[in-house]
Structure 1
Amino acid sequence: MQSSLFNSENENLLPFQGKTILYADFLQKEEADRFLSQLIEAVPWRQEPIWMFGKKVMQPRLTALFGDTEVPYSYSGIQMEALKWVDPLALIREKLKDYCETEFTHVLLNYYRDGQDSMGWHRDNEASLGKNPTIASVSLGASRTFQIRHYANKAPKLNLELGHGSLLIMAEESQHFWEHQLPKTKKVLGPRVNLTFRKLS
């Protein structure tokens, strides 16, 4: 069993005001391959419109929400109703108990079909997530560069390579003081599915 986040020997990647830890080998390749295939094929993916700079545009990725069905989740003007937990997601949620001290109620899935699908700068700081939320982000598929920067002064900017089967945990004050994005790239040809586990109240 791995030690929990708060006793972890893994390095905190943030220099101050928060805690972010990367586990490159959270899932074995065979597990990650299986989960990726199952989720791409079975999830009822949707492309939602969002407001950006005063205009409504389609998100450059596909999404889905699973979790405790009585609690919806809202962000960027979108309200999502949760689908019931399915085996791959329930198994990963159970495995996360060895890594962080949070009982996750939901998981938001993002499907990046190729390098042109992306996520802009943002913080996961919705009121429903609580004061200092822990977000556990599991990556499946093509390796992508994930960027983090300080919200107030936009520096320093960290570039993290999130590979197949990796786990990134963002905790404590990180969602207050830091923002993150997944930029577009011309280098990536394969799909990527990202699972962001969170606790809604």
Structure 2
Amino acid sequence: MLQASLFAVGDPGVDQTTTAERIHLDERSWVDLYRCAVRGTNDTLEKLCAQPGWMSGTRQMYDRMVTDPREMKWFRAGATDPHPLLIEVRRWLESLYTTQLSTEVQFGGVALNHYRSGNDSVTWHRDRELRHPDQSLVAILTMGAQRPFRIRRFGGGPSIDCSPASGDVVVMGGACQMEWEHAVPKVGRAIGPRLSASWRWAPDNSHLRFNEDGYFTSRAWRPTAS
């Protein structure tokens, strides 16, 4: 069972009065943090994790095959988001950034990443499908356990930790996916599950250039054990 906070329980919904704390990474890249923006995330996590269709990816690394230490599920653009709360969050963010950027923002499909315990993780990476140099958005809703979410300049160096809690939203914008990278490292203690829902947008529609199922072409995908 999840250790529930007061905000993570209750009826799912978005607090649309929440304002962002903006971190300027450099003159072209920024991160917006919306703390306690979404209610009812623990119940939503449990329902989403109970749904079938979770996949794990395996890729070649040097002379061996390595399985990604997390589960993933993808709903391509045009498909129905798998929970009403995710629809509400997406519409809220689209409205916010359409106003801020003075251009219509419509996210692509939603990706769900399930970190089952502190042993699951994702290494340093960029969302490289987003190629627009000045404007792109990656929005991530966290549900479940609070754990590190680190951002650093591409190639190495010191990092910042956004440490989103259940119901927090992180939005990486500007040239963040060109010049910065992010990671969810392993946690060396007992910790509950974390589920993230992420949406992507770029004005050149590079966020729509996926395979039909949205999974990385460098991996072989198979269903995880239920």
Is the structural similarity TM-score above 0.5?
yes
* Shift in CA distance, 84/13, structure 1 to aligned 2, threshold 3 Å: same
User: Of residues 35, 53, 59 in structure 2, which corresponds to 1:50?
Assistant: 59
Question: TM-score, normalized by length of structure 2?
Answer: 0.71
Give the whole-Å Cα distance in 2 for the aligned partners of 1:157 and 1:54: 30
- Overall identity of the aligned pairs, in %: 28
* Shift in CA distance, 100/54, structure 1 to aligned 2, threshold 3 Å: farther
Q: Which residues of 2 match residues 136-147 of structure 1 at below 5 A? A: 136-147=139-150
Find runs of 4+ consecutive structure 1 residues off by over 6 angstroms.
none
| AA aligned opposite 2:146 | S
Q: Which residues of 2 match residues 29-178 of structure 1 at below 5 A? A: 31-53=40-62, 55-68=64-77, 84-88=80-84, 89-101=86-98, 102-126=105-129, 129-131=130-132, 132-152=135-155, 154-178=156-180
Cα distance, 1:108 vs structure 2: 1.1
Give the whole-Å Cα distance in 2 for the aligned partners of 1:176 and 1:46: 27
- Alpha carbons 2:20, 2:35 under 8 Å: kept: no
Q: 1:33-54 CA distances to partner (integer Å, 9 max, x unpaired)? A: 2211211112521111123346
Q: Which residue of 2 aligns with 1:185?
A: 187
Secondary structure of the residue aligned to 2:21 is coil
| AA aligned opposite 1:22 | L
Question: TM-score, normalized by length of structure 1?
Answer: 0.79
Which 5+ residue runs of structure 2 have no aligned equivalent? 1-15, 99-104, 202-206, 209-226
Which 5+ residue runs of structure 1 have no aligned equivalent? 70-82
Give the whole-Å Cα distance in 2 for the aligned partners of 1:139 and 1:162: 7
- Alpha carbons 1:2, 1:99 under 8 Å: kept: no
- Alpha carbons 1:17, 1:177 under 8 Å: kept: no
Secondary structure of the residue aligned to 2:177 is helix
Give the whole-Å Cα distance in 2 for the aligned partners of 1:98 and 1:84: 18
Secondary structure of the residue aligned to 1:12 is strand
Q: Does 1:14 align with 2:14?
A: no
* Shift in CA distance, 136/42, structure 1 to aligned 2, threshold 3 Å: same
Give the whole-Å Cα distance in 2 for the aligned partners of 1:130 and 1:2: 31
Give the whole-Å Cα distance in 1 for the aligned partners of 2:62 and 2:36: 38
Give the whole-Å Cα distance in 1 for the aligned partners of 2:52 and 2:90: 17
Alpha-carbon RMSD across the aligned residues, in angstroms, is: 2.1
* Shift in CA distance, 99/188, structure 1 to aligned 2, threshold 3 Å: farther
